[in-house]
Amino acid sequence: MKKIRFTLGGLFLFLLGETVLAQDKLPGLVYSGQYLKSTLGSITQPDQMQHSLDAIYSVGEYPLSTPALISGKGQETTQISCRFCHSTTYITMQPPLPAATWKNEVYKMINAFGAPIPEADAKQIIAYLQSYYTPETRKQ
């Protein structure tokens, strides 16, 4: 009895495995990982998507200029140092961030991304961002 159950269980698993692992729907597949030479390099693509001409989609004009940083002590250092790697738009597009977050962001740029900013300039940038871009100080 035990032998019959073991044999039936093995046969069931074999048949289940065949159906689950069957990959005969792929064009040119002989065995798993082996393809006919005539189908190499050809991948079946889905039908091209038909676009509707009646769709309403519009966007505003793309800004051609970078918004200016708020005038204040440290603006020039911030502008020069940050533009080594990215536009100052990265600063102006941020929501007002807490002072500690700005400090972490500046040090992340230096330590993780390798921004070439001396420590004295980093402190000036942090003071500038904390003075003009926190929830308490942001006016724009």
What confidence tens digit (pLDDT) does each residue in 34-88 have?
555 665 566 666 667 776 666 666 677 777 778 889 999 999 999 999 998 998 9
* Residue 96 located in a structural domain: yes
pLDDT confidence of residue 11:
72
Q: Is residue 95 part of a domain?
A: yes
CATH classification at residue 81: 1.10.760.10
- Token duo for residue 115: 């921004």
Residue 54 resides in a domain: no
26 inside domain: yes
The three-state secondary structure class of 119 is: helix
Number of structural domains (the chain) is 2
Residue ranges making up the domain that contains 20: 2-37
Query: What pLDDT does 20 receive?
Result: 52
In a domain, 139, yes or no: no
| Residue among 74, 138, 135 at smallest CA distance from 106 | 74
Q: Quote the percentage of the chain above a pLDDT of 70.
A: 66
Tell me whether residue 56 is in a domain: no
> In angstroms, rounded to a whole number, what is the distance separating the alpha carbons of residues 10 and 36?
32
* Stretch (H or E) spanning 30: strand 29-31
